Structure 1
Amino acid sequence: MDLIKHVRYFVVVAEEQHFGRAAARLGVAQPSLSQRIQRLEREFGVRLFDRTSRGAELTEGGRLMLAEARPLLERADALEGTAARVRSGAAGLLRAAVPPELDSTVVAALVSGFRDGSPGVRLELRERAAQAQLAELAAGTLDAGVLRHPVDVAGLALGEVMCRPLGVVVPDDGPATEAGPDVGPATEPGPARGPGPADGPLALAELTGRDLVLFPRRSGPALHDEILATCRRHGFEPGTVIAGRDPAFVTGMVLSGTAVAFAPREREVPAGAAWRELTGAPLLERVSAAWLRSRQGDPAVELFAAVVEEALAEYGGMIPVAQTVAAGRPGAPVPRLGFTV
């Protein structure tokens, strides 16, 4: 039995005090209305009306039930209204995650953009690496995420895949000088100098012998392996691959003079280090929003994906990866899979 509907019929009959007028108001046949009221009386075990030649009069039990029925219908209407706002994306909660490496300006723009676009929906944002996001999306404890590709996107829907070239952060040793006849006494050698000209592009092969600071493989196995494979394909065999993602640790290793790290141009570089472009842009960072296909069409998820794309473009310096494919860039990533071909 649809309790709310039956209670609504009961209230209308009580207000009209007549089954015929109540049936006309509700747009139902009078016999059907009488049967519904009788069923409600059987359900509650209470006689609600005295049927008379003039109409229907509430019993004492009916009056007591009416006092409770009206607030119940008000709450039911409020519940329906809330459900409608959630369905339309005007209210609710969206649980989302971003990778640890995402630029702070992008994160700030994402939060403010979502809030402005849907002030009734609360965005619960957390930091998660790719593998953790995939696990939570599959478990249903996460509604949407921002993923760095390549990852296994089976069962997921993706927003626009955005990309930007990665450069390399190296020690900034300043311009090299040659010793002349007036050079002073010899000193102990310091850390190795940064490779190549002080501000020109570098080929990956010029980094050979340097250690590479890279995020732990377990947080993104496919991306980790792809980066190392690209390095080797272009002649860079790292001395040691050092797992690390904390900015202070990465910076310390680079400033030690023995290690390098990959980063986009937009990433802040500390004093004592320099960002250098890589010849031929062999490494691309690819990022997109992702969500379960079962959430396709959800207004809050669609807004999140749109805001992610806008924030990545405006504050992350990224462009749609489809543009690199259309331009025929060698090694352009495939948007559907997120892998490099």
Structure 2
Amino acid sequence: MDDGRPELALNQLHAFAVLAEELHFGRAAERLGIAQPPLSQQIRRLEDRMGHPLFLREPGRVALTAAGEELLPAARRALEEVSAGLAAARRVAAGEAGRLLVGFAASLAPTVLPGLLRAFRDGHPGVELEIREMTTAPQVAALHAHTIDVGLMREPPEDPDLVVEPLPSEGFVAVLPSGHPLAARRVVPVSGLAAEPFVLLPRACGPTVHDRIVGVCREAGFEPRVAQRAVEWQTVAALVGAGFGVSLAPAGVRRFRLRGVAYRRISPDTARTSVGLVHRRGDRSPLVSRFAAEARALAGGDRP
């Protein structure tokens, strides 16, 4: 009758495997660090559980029975699998192994993302990183839904359930068709863009950064006339290069080397967009803690 206990206890299997190797109760007990009577009791309990003897016990001789010979390979495999499982669990608990799901804003791919991923991978070669490209609002939703572990985003929202690790902020640049008259200047006054059609992200993708760009325009005395929207900054720049308009974008987009696109500093240049690594408050994952520590280590870098 099944009493709810495992069919075979690991300590009994271990004792059985050692005795099967030594074929001597005294030597086996010494290897196990126990006295001989407790070893004999463990073997007897295992045999009672099996319902068959596993060893022949004769004066001056111990040998495996046919049942013992059959059990030995399975016992060794079970002990090896448990040992490997314990070692793997310890590596995960120490933040040395496992899987980390990272969301990131596409505009951070050429700036923040490479250095952070490189530093983390160098220090944690046993960790599998899964990278998912998404804008700010979807990252926040994914964190709440536990479909990503950390997010690299622009203008992280204030959320009592999330923790933000600040990263170096960025200024804004004007994104212009390379043949635009203002592209000949090193610094573009924002007011000079007042009559131009704009290409911007939909507000739903990143409300704060969208509103910050609109605010820069309003401070320059105009409301931007949006002619086209695109979900990613690289697409915004490509549409500018295709002649759909101009844009104001985080300075990191300068890394997108697109034909027909010019990036210029703006005046005034006081506005900045914040960047942060975000994770769930109270998340005890050692991988999240180590990834956040890498982000903090990189936060002292030069601002773009």
Q: Same fold (TM over 0.5)?
A: yes
- Asked if structure 2 preserves the Cα contact closer than 8 Å seen for 1:137 and 1:144, the reply is yes
Deviations 1:205-245 (A, max 9, x none): 55434333221222223433344345435633112363223
Task: Give the 3-state SS of the residue equivalent to 2:225 in structure 1.
Answer: coil
Give the C-alpha shift of residue 57 in structure 1: 4.9
Q: Which residue of 1 aligns with 2:262?
A: 273
Give the C-alpha shift of residue 11 in structure 1: 1.7
- The residue correspondences of 1:1-341 to structure 2 (distance < 5 A) are 1=6, 3-17=9-23, 22-28=28-34, 32-50=38-56, 57-104=63-110, 106-170=112-176, 194=182, 198-200=185-187, 202=189, 204-229=190-215, 231-232=217-218, 235-240=221-226, 242-244=228-230, 245=232, 247-253=234-240, 256=243, 258-264=245-251, 267-268=254-255, 271=260, 273-282=262-271, 284-296=272-284, 298=286, 300-308=287-295, 317-318=302-303
Tell which deviates more after alignment, 4-13 or 52-61: 52-61
Q: Which residue of 1 aligns with 2:3?
A: none
Distance 1:40 1:289, change over 3 A: farther
Determine what percentage of the aligned residue pairs are the same residue.
33
- Asked if structure 1 preserves the Cα contact closer than 8 Å seen for 2:136 and 2:205, the reply is yes
| Counterpart AA for 1:239 | R
Task: Give the 3-state SS of the residue equivalent to 1:101 in structure 2.
Answer: helix
| Counterpart AA for 2:203 | R
What is the aligned length? 295
- Asked if structure 1 preserves the Cα contact closer than 8 Å seen for 2:200 and 2:226, the reply is no
Task: Give the 3-state SS of the residue equivalent to 2:14 in structure 1.
Answer: helix
Distance 2:51 2:208 in 1: 65
| Counterpart AA for 1:68 | A
- Asked if structure 2 preserves the Cα contact closer than 8 Å seen for 1:103 and 1:267, the reply is no
Q: What are the ranges of 5 or more consecutive residues in structure 1 without an aligned counterpart?
A: 175-192, 320-341
- Asked if structure 2 preserves the Cα contact closer than 8 Å seen for 1:9 and 1:37, the reply is yes
* TM-score normalized by the length of structure 2: 0.76
Distance 1:18 1:170, change over 3 A: same
Distance 1:271 1:171, change over 3 A: closer
- Asked if structure 2 preserves the Cα contact closer than 8 Å seen for 1:210 and 1:260, the reply is no
Distance 2:249 2:116 in 1: 24
Distance 1:230 1:250 in 2: 18
Distance 1:313 1:98, change over 3 A: farther
Task: Give the 3-state SS of the residue equivalent to 1:66 in structure 2.
Answer: helix
Give the C-alpha shift of residue 279 in structure 1: 1.1
Q: What are the ranges of 5 or more consecutive residues in structure 2 without an aligned counterpart?
A: 1-5
Structure with greater strand percent:
2
| Counterpart AA for 1:143 | D
Tell which deviates more after alignment, 5-14 or 23-32: 23-32
Give the C-alpha shift of residue 281 in structure 1: 1.0
| Counterpart AA for 2:102 | A
- Asked if structure 1 preserves the Cα contact closer than 8 Å seen for 2:201 and 2:236, the reply is no
Distance 1:75 1:279, change over 3 A: same
Distance 2:101 2:73 in 1: 40
Give the C-alpha shift of residue 119 in structure 1: 2.3
Task: Give the 3-state SS of the residue equivalent to 1:224 in structure 2.
Answer: helix
Deviations 1:119-168 (A, max 9, x none): 22232222122222223333333232212123244333333432122232
- Asked if structure 1 preserves the Cα contact closer than 8 Å seen for 2:200 and 2:236, the reply is no
* TM-score normalized by the length of structure 1: 0.69
Distance 1:39 1:228, change over 3 A: farther
Q: Which residue of 2 aligns with 1:187?
A: none
| Counterpart AA for 2:171 | P
Distance 2:266 2:95 in 1: 42
Distance 1:136 1:35, change over 3 A: farther
Give the C-alpha shift of residue 275 in structure 1: 1.0
| Counterpart AA for 1:287 | V
Distance 1:45 1:251 in 2: 76
Distance 2:275 2:14 in 1: 51
Task: Give the 3-state SS of the residue equivalent to 1:89 in structure 2.
Answer: coil
For the aligned residue pairs, the C-alpha RMSD in angstroms reads 3.7
Deviations 1:41-90 (A, max 9, x none): 34444333456676865332122212321232223222322333333333
Task: Give the 3-state SS of the residue equivalent to 1:159 in structure 2.
Answer: strand
